Each structure stands twice: as structure tokens, then as C-alpha cells.
Amino acid sequence: MTTDEYVDLVYANIKDINFSKKYPCVSPNVTESVAQDEFYDMRFCGTRGGKAFLNATRPTANSDGSWSCPTGTSACSKATSPEYTICQADMSLCPITFMQFVPVNATASLDPAVYQVMAVNSDYSFVTSKTVGDNLPLASFRVESEPCLDPTETSVGFQQKFYPFEADNITMTGCSVVEQYNKQYDPRFIDLKLTITEKAVQTESKVIDKLMTQPGYDAKVFETSKSSTVYSFWTRPTATWSLACESLNSKATILDGVSKQGSLEAIDVTRLSRVNYSAWGIGLTGALIMFGCYMGQSSGVNDTSRVLCSCCILTVQLILFIVAVVKLSGYKEDLSLREEMLVQVS
């Protein structure tokens, strides 16, 4: 992307309508994007281990209606209900099901056999556990005001302001209402009880230093907003997967069905309907014309003319019906595949 293209893109998203009047000939100091992944002089890292949830071993149903882990494996946690239980042969590969930032003075009473405690700063410790919490493994993590229900969006804080050339001015659009649920925010996310200001995040990542070099950057205006914009740390468990469903179709089978379903093109029902309606419409029009011809016998309309008229109308109607049938038969294999996919995902 050239500088001119970048300027055009930014100006298209500027919310300050007077900006172009103040700085009509601005050429920004284009720099590489910066990963803002450092908080309180720390980076929080995790090691992926064990099986992906797609292939994870889950409890199986017993004849008495109870659930238990397959032979050779054990439940990772006694705190989880069957729906949220992961079975492992090697308990060191069990996933984390609990994490929270806890005041330092509250960690002394935590059982080290249950909780792992890591210092963050003089006020807080980061606490995790594999045997606490009745939920599936924690798999998604966000640092923002509040996670949106639409995972492609990022929330914007109350009265949060961005410098026009700041990348977040383009990418952070706020949370829209997801019509299906009539909600903006994802209720599955858990607040980890720690906050940090946008200014602190951008100071640690050196973004503030880069912004200070940009034309028209008003430190007083933007940094006041950044100091009052507070981000929280959030986590969300893996999406719930019913054991009852899994006993009918494996996760792999269902995901394969969803993948195939997503790759199918939409059936053009509108075009088929138009052809079908046209056939019926021409048939009705033909009937009315024939009725008119019959009533017009006294006006000199002979039998040959009526027959030719009828043949023409019926031929056109037949052609349209054939087109509709051919189009529909072309979807036979497609419909059969869709039916198979529905069985897989239901």
C-alpha cells in the first residue's frame, strides 16, 4: 500500500470531520504495525499440550446412565461435570480450566497442589489450575473493554478517542448487535479481575512514542482519553459440545459436515421460481387469449388461427417447464449432499 493509498483509507475512517480542514496536506510518518502484547512489563505465555479438543477423549455412557472415562484414562478434574470433562492417560497434559489475577495477600491460603501462582507485580499474582472450575478448557483470551459477541469485532471504550492515523481507528469499530441473539457482548467470557489502561499498554509497546511523531498529534487530548480507557483481561472456555450429540456423530464428522456445507454454493431459488411462475403465467395468459378467440368467432377468427395460437402458447409453456425441470434436476446431487450434511451436523 502506498502512502497516498494509506492516507485515503485513513481519511475515509476519520470521525473528526474537521481534521482535513486543520491538516489538509498531512502526510503521515508511516511505520510498521506494533504488537501490543506486553502488560505490566510481562508477556503471558502458555504451552499447548495434549490433544486438540477435536480429538480429545471424552467420557462415555454406561448402561446405568452414568458417564465414565474410557479404560486407561482418568478425568482431569473432579470438579467438572461429565459434559465438561476431559479424559487423559497422562495427567500432566490436562488443560487449564481456571485462571484469575488475585491480590498478592490472598495467595498465601491457596493449596499449591491445586493452584499454580505466578507473580505479576507487587499487587497481583496470576493464578491457574487444572482441577478448579466446572467448564471446558480455557481457549480464548482477550484484552479489551468487553469482548464482542461477533468475534471479528473489537469493543471500543466509552468516549475512547484515536489519533486518525492510528491503526485502531480503522480496526476497532465497536460491538454491533448480533440479531440472532439480540446481544452485543459475549456472555461466555470470564473477567479475570485485572485491568490496565490503554495508555499503559501503548507506553510499554512504544506506540505512544511513535504517535508523538505524527503531525497534529495532540498529546493532551489523546492521552487523556487513553488514560481513562480501561481494558480488562478476559478468557472464554472452549465452546460446549454435548456428549449426547457426540455419541451419535463424532466431532470430526460434524465439523466435516459443517465444512462441506460452507463450501456449497447457494441454490438460486429465485431463478427457478421465476421460470416456474413464467410458465404458469403464460399458460394462464394463453387460456384467456383462447377464451377471447372463442368469443370472437363472430368476428371472423377461424379454427386454424385458434389452433396455431394454442400450439404456440403450449409450446412456450412446455419449454419453460422443461427448463425448470432441467435446472432442478441439476441440483439433485447437490441436494443429496446437503441432506447428508444436515444428517451429519444434527
In the predicted structure, residue 340 carries a pLDDT above the cut 70: no
What would the pLDDT profile of 131-167 be if each residue is shown by its tens digit?
999 999 999 999 999 999 998 899 988 778 887 777 7
pLDDT tens digits, residue range 186-240? 999 999 999 999 999 999 999 888 888 877 777 777 888 889 999 999 999 998 8
- Partners of 125 in beta bridges: 102, 119
What confidence tier does 245 reach under pLDDT thresholds 50, 70, 90? Answer: confident
Measure Cα distances from 227 to 31, 38, 192, 215, 235 in Å.
Answer: 23, 17, 21, 21, 24
What confidence tier does 298 reach under pLDDT thresholds 50, 70, 90? very low
pLDDT, average across residues 80-103? 93
The percent of residues in the chain predicted with pLDDT above 90, rounded, is 34
**pLDDT for the residue 268:** 62
Q: Is the pLDDT score of 315 beyond 60?
A: yes
Using the 8-state DSSP alphabet, how is residue 259 labeled?
Answer: H
| Residue predicted with more confidence, 61 or 310 | 61
Distance CA 83, CA 58 (A): 8
* Closest among 282, 288, 270, 268 to 321, alpha carbons compared: 282
Top-confidence residue, 127 or 46 = 127
Check pLDDT > 90 for residue 72. yes
Mean pLDDT of 230-252: 81
Mean pLDDT across the chain, nearest whole number?
79
DSSP per position, 82-145: GGG--EESSGGGPPP-EEEEEEGGGSTTS-TTT-EEEE-SSSEEEEEESSS-SSSPEEEEEEES
